[in-house]
Amino acid sequence: MKNLILLLLIATGVNISAQYNLKFKIDGLSDTTVYLARYLGNRLYYADTTEAKNGVAVFNKDDYPGGVYAVICPGPKYFEFIMADKTVEIETSMDNFISNMKVIKSKENKIFYDYIGFINLKKPEAKLLGEAKAKLDPKKDKKKIAELDAKGTALDLEVKSYQKKLATENKDLLIGRILNMSIDPVIPEEIKKNDTLRYKYYKQHFWDNIMLEDERLVHSPVFHNKLEFFFQKMLLQQPDTICANAHQIISQIKEGTDLFKYVVHYVTYNYETSNIMGMDAVFVCMADTYYCPPENTKAFWIGDSALVELCERKNALKPLLVNKVTPNIRLADTTESKWVDLYKDVNNKYIALLFWADDCGHCKKEIPKVKELYDELKSKGVDIEVVAVGTSLENDGWRKFIRDKKLDWINISDFPGANKTPEKYIFEQKVTDLQSLNFRKTYDIFSTPQIYLLDQNKVILAKKLDALNLAKIMEMKEKLDELEFTKKETIAKAEEEKKKKEREAKAEAAKAKTK
């Protein structure tokens, strides 16, 4: 039966051969394994493998996603090519892939390597101009410098014109779209001198030359560089701005594609892991729009369990975003009989909600610093209160540390009795609630110490702070003269950094000696 089907296919003229035929003849290549790699963003990932024979590597497959690929030979040495034509035939040499490159078959790659050849031809000219300019005196040789600058501008214009010509003439080809993507928006002369208008125009037209409908663009490092530049350099690092722009870009991309996945993941991951305070709001907005709820997700690339975990993480962070009203917390003080309600009992202009543990080494260093800052702020008349929440499961060490360090602010905790019989305090006495007794989860406390700065309405002004950052924020909020604490801590940190560098230098010297 199989043979009969095969004969029928041949008789009817159906092409049963591989759709793609890639042949690379490389002088000097031994009989060895050769890899095919594909870009995803700015990184190469394995796509296929073959065994080279007599200097020839052949790849055959029914389908390869379009994009920029690399042929990786032993060394490892590699050269790139465009995967768009079904037949690609290239000849080169292990000595120098680029200078010996001959594209035998493939319109896309002929254009690609013509462009590379033109750029490589112009690079020495640009280098010579730069070297000549570096030798001149800016004060004495203004005329010569102006002449060199004019030549540089002309060279730059020549390169851009060539690039634009290739992109325009080949606008329907992948190489044309990649080249076009590299071209920056042209700023109209009438607004060039106005920084604000120039920025607005550039931002508004940034994506004009990038065909987001073509999902193959994601398989090019050019796209990654554009995406990264736009989000990291072009946009104000404010969550609302970032989210609005992300949604606008993603709305133009077809769902279910690698391009959709890449952009959504890039924005989500980069701001989830950002060191800039408040950027977790971007993670929340992205998760709300593209990942959650799990049963209606657009994130086709994530497994069920990971998706549930991500959505739970989003739900935990959402109430804790900067400018949100913080969740209430009702816990007992050191007597275990007097209960403090954050919402009702603490009404200072500023509230530092501090989570710490007496058995945490970093806390033992940081808490005395917070106390020093607290005392200084109080002495300057700043209306601030610290509500310090003990996270240890046992309270004896916690109480001793409070006494020893004279922590005369509000100290509360979920003492062992409340955890053993929560119903007594939640339902009978009604002095607390499950959210308060589960404050570690409520406040996302997986490490200590942590400080949330609140205003009198319990709105989160800043979070995940240490003593030094709290001091800097308070200086800014109250427009105080530099706090003595800040001066001291800045000097201490500089000294610590100096000692660290000295230790590293000694270690390197010792390492070099052993060699």
Is the separation of the CB atoms in 80 and 68 below 8 Å? yes
Q: Based on the fold, state whether residues 229 and 147 are members of the same structural domain.
A: no
Q: Based on the fold, state whether residues 164 and 92 are members of the same structural domain.
A: no
Q: What is the total count of domains within the chain?
A: 5
9 versus 301: the higher-pLDDT residue is: 301
Task: Return the CATH number at 45.
Answer: 2.60.40.1120
Beta strand ranges found along 15-126 (DSSP E): 20-27, 33-40, 43-51, 56-61, 67-73, 77-83, 87-93, 102-105
Among 273-282, 309-318, 334-343, 483-492, the least confident range: 483-492
Q: Based on the fold, state whether residues 340 and 458 are members of the same structural domain.
A: yes
Answer yes or no: is 152 within a domain.
yes
**How far is residue 108 CA from its own chain's centroid?**
32
Instruction: Report the alpha-carbon angle 92-94-100, nearest 5.
Output: 35
Tokens coding 326: 């913080």
- Average pLDDT on 468-490 reads 88
Q: What is the mean pLDDT of the chain?
A: 92
Answer whether residue 12 shows pLDDT above 50.
no
Answer yes or no: is 7 within a domain.
no
Answer yes or no: is 369 within a domain.
yes
Q: Based on the fold, state whether residues 363 and 447 are members of the same structural domain.
A: yes
Answer yes or no: is 460 within a domain.
yes
pLDDT tens-digit map of 144-174: 999 999 999 999 999 999 999 999 999 999 9
- In this prediction, residue 514 carries a pLDDT of 66
**How far is residue 510 CA from its own chain's centroid?**
36
For residues 79 and 92, give the distance between their C-alpha atoms in angstroms, rounded to a whole number: 10
Beta strand ranges found along 344-498 (DSSP E): 350-356, 384-390, 410-413, 450-455, 460-465
Q: Spell out the residues 6+ positions from residue 327 whose beta carbon is closer than 8 angstroms to its own.
A: 319, 320, 435, 442, 443
Q: pLDDT-based confidence at 15, cuts 50/70/90?
A: very low
Answer yes or no: is 196 within a domain.
no
Domain span at residue 284 reads: 214-320
Is the separation of the CB atoms in 129 and 141 below 8 Å? no
DSSP for 253-294 reads S-TTSHHHHHHHHHHHHHHHS-SSTTTHHHHHHHIIIII-SG
For residues 394 and 225, give the distance between their C-alpha atoms in angstroms, rounded to a whole number: 51
Q: Based on the fold, state whether residues 477 and 504 are members of the same structural domain.
A: no
Is the separation of the CB atoms in 38 and 44 below 8 Å? yes
Tell me, what DSSP letter sits at residue 46?
A: E
Answer yes or no: is 10 within a domain.
no
User: Taking the complete model, does pTM exceed 0.75, yes or no?
Assistant: yes
Answer yes or no: is 230 within a domain.
yes
Q: Based on the fold, state whether residues 458 and 496 are members of the same structural domain.
A: no
